[in-house]
Chains A and B, each alone.
Chain A
Amino acid sequence: MNIFFRELKANRKSLITWSIVLILLIMISTAKYSAFAGDESMLKVLEAMPKGLMEAFSMRSFNLTTLTGFYGVMGVFFYLMGAMAAAMWGSDIISKEERRKTVEFSLVLPVSRNRVITFKALAALVNCILYVLITWGVSLLAVQKYQPDQAFRDFLALEMQAMFIIELIFLAVGLLLGCAMKKYKLAGSTAIGIILVAYFLSVFSGMQEKLANLKWLTPFKYFDSADLFQNGRLDGTSLLISAGIILLCLAAAYYTYNKRDLYI
Chain B
Amino acid sequence: MKSNIYTHELRMKSRSILTWSIAIFALMFFFLSIYPSFAEEAELANQLMSKMPEELKQAFGLSNTDMASLLGFYTLVMVFTQLCLAIQAGNFGFGLVSIEESELTADFLLTKPVSRVQILTSKLLAALTAIIITNLVTGAASFLAITTFRSSHTYDAGTLTLMLVGLLIFQVFFLAVGLVISLLVKRIHNVTPYSLGLAFSAYVLNAFSGVFGDVKLEYITPFKHFDPNYIIEHNAFDTRLVLINIGISVAAIAISYWLYIRRDIHAVS
Contact = CB atoms under 8 A, between A and B. Distances in A.
Interface of A: 14, 17-18, 21, 25, 28-29, 32-33, 35-36, 41-42, 44-45, 48-53, 56-57, 59, 73, 77, 80-81, 84, 88, 92, 96, 99-101, 188-189, 191-193, 195-196, 200, 203-204, 207-208, 210-211
B204 A48 contact: no
Interface string B217-248: 10000000000000000000000000000000
B195 to A, nearest CB: 8
A158 to B, nearest CB: 22
B14 interface: no
Nearest to A209: B37
Interface string B175-197: 00000000000000111110011
B192 A192 contact: yes
A99 B189 CA distance: 8
Contacts of A77: 204, 207
B250 interface: no
Given A49-B45, A57-B211, A101-B104, A88 B38 contact: no
Interface stretch (B1-9, B23-31, B139-147): B23-31
B38 A207 contact: yes
Nearest to B46: A50
29 contacts: A14-B193, A29-B208, A33-B212, A35-B212, A42-B59, A44-B56, A45-B56, A45-B57, A48-B51, A48-B52, A49-B45, A49-B49, A50-B41, A53-B62, A73-B211, A80-B200, A81-B200, A84-B193, A92-B190, A92-B192, A96-B189, A99-B103, A189-B91, A192-B196, A193-B19, A196-B23, A204-B30, A204-B31, A207-B34
Given A45-B59, A208-B38, A36 B212 contact: yes
B133 interface: no
B69 interface: no
Contact of B56 (A41, A80, A84, A203): A41
Contacts of A191: 192
A100 B189 contact: yes
B33 to A, nearest CB: 10
Nearest to B42: A50
Given A44-B52, A45-B52, A50-B67, A17 B197 contact: yes
A72 B203 CA distance: 19
Max chain B C-beta neighbours (<10 A), residue from A17, A52, A88, A211: A52
Query: B-side binding surface: helix, strand, loop or mixed?
Result: helix
B84 interface: yes
A210 B201 CA distance: 31
Interface residues of B, number: 51
Contacts of A51: 41, 45
Given A29-B208, A50-B42, A84-B197, A99 B30 contact: no
B205 interface: yes
B207 A57 contact: yes
Contacts of B196: 84, 88, 192, 195
A99 B190 contact: yes
Nearest to B91: A189
A88 B189 contact: no
A51 B67 CA distance: 11
Contacts of B16: 189
A206 to B, nearest CB: 11
User: 4 shortest A-B CB distances, which residue pairs?
Assistant: A188-B192, A50-B45, A48-B48, A88-B193
Interface string B104-143: 1000000000000000000000000000000000000000
A48 B31 contact: no
A92 B201 contact: no
Given A21-B197, A92-B190, A188-B190, 10 more contacts: A28-B208, A29-B208, A50-B41, A50-B46, A52-B41, A57-B207, A84-B196, A99-B103, A196-B84, A208-B34
